[in-house]
Amino acid sequence: MLRFLVIPLGLFLTACATTGGSDVQPAPVIVADHPDARLAAALAAELEARAADPARVAPLRPEMDALAAALWGQPNRAEPVAEPETPEVIPPGQSLLYGVHIASYRTMDHVVQGWETMRAMLPDVLGPLQARVEAADLGERGVYLRLKAGPFATRADALSACTELSQSAIYCQAMAFTGDPLEAESEN
């Protein structure tokens, strides 16, 4: 009878000794073999490491709020960083049509992905439109690729589209429908 009490007690103590220590390492996080997935995992690890010190996280708060809003549909508490307002200038012979600037990206892959995502989210507004890409040198901030949708015959039509897009929290500015047509969309 004593064996029936000693054996379970021994197993219990062994289990406590092996799981109660602080030397247990968390299971490694498996990340998809894709640059965006690796970047997301690296950013998450860096933010987790900085989270212990509020002074190291505070400067990143506006970007974290914007990311949370994009991921979870929460209202964005941070003010969006808008490009400086530039006067509309249509160079002679380039375009008599208007477009709407709806996003800026650093790489062409992100332009294509952004266009496909926004077009899927708002098929009634963006579905019938074409996409164009135009490089914009913003000085110290670097070169960005502007994603534009259009064409619109008048500035009023472009501004009307901006009103609809702004209701879905998409940045929008009416401007000349210049730039290069967006090439083949990704096959994913």
- Is residue 13 included in any domain, yes or no? no
- Quick one: 103 and 176 in the same domain? yes
Q: How many CA atoms lie within 13 A of 4 on its CB side?
A: 1
> What is the DSSP secondary structure assignment for residue 77, as one 8-state letter?
-
Element (H, E) at 24: none
- Quick one: 177 and 104 in the same domain? yes
- Quick one: 177 and 102 in the same domain? yes
pTM: 0.49
Cα 170 from chain centroid (whole Å):
12
pLDDT at residue 32 in the model: 67
- Is residue 113 included in any domain, yes or no? yes
- Quick one: 126 and 177 in the same domain? yes
CB-count exposure of residue 125 (10 Å: 0-12, 13-18, 19+): buried
Range of the domain at 108: 98-181
pLDDT at residue 25 in the model: 53
- Quick one: 119 and 56 in the same domain? no
pLDDT at residue 157 in the model: 94
- Is residue 86 included in any domain, yes or no? no
Query: Going residue by residue through the chain (188 aa), what tens digit of pLDDT does each one get?
Result: 444 444 444 444 444 445 554 455 555 556 667 677 676 766 676 777 777 777 776 777 777 777 766 666 655 555 555 566 666 655 554 557 999 999 999 999 999 999 999 999 999 999 999 999 999 998 999 999 999 999 999 999 999 999 999 999 999 999 999 999 997 554 44
Structure tokens at 7: 């054996």
- Quick one: 68 and 102 in the same domain? no
- Is residue 164 included in any domain, yes or no? yes
The edge-to-edge listing of strands for the beta sheet with 130-137 is 173-176, 98-105, 143-152, 130-137, 180-181
What is the domain count for the chain? Answer: 2
pLDDT at residue 31 in the model: 61
- Beta-bridged to residue 146, according to DSSP, are 104, 134
Write the CATH number for 156: 3.30.70.1070
Distance CA 47, CA 21 (A): 26
- Quick one: 56 and 118 in the same domain? no
pLDDT at residue 5 in the model: 44
Task: Report which of 28, 62, 69, 59 is spatially closest to residue 45, judged by C-alpha positions.
Answer: 28
- Quick one: 48 and 105 in the same domain? no
> Can you give the length of the chain in residues?
188
Task: Report which of 178, 186, 188, 113 is spatially closest to residue 146, judged by C-alpha positions.
Answer: 178
Structure tokens at 15: 């289990």
- Is residue 6 included in any domain, yes or no? no
- Is residue 30 included in any domain, yes or no? no
Q: Hey, is 34 helix, strand or coil? A: coil
- Is residue 20 included in any domain, yes or no? no
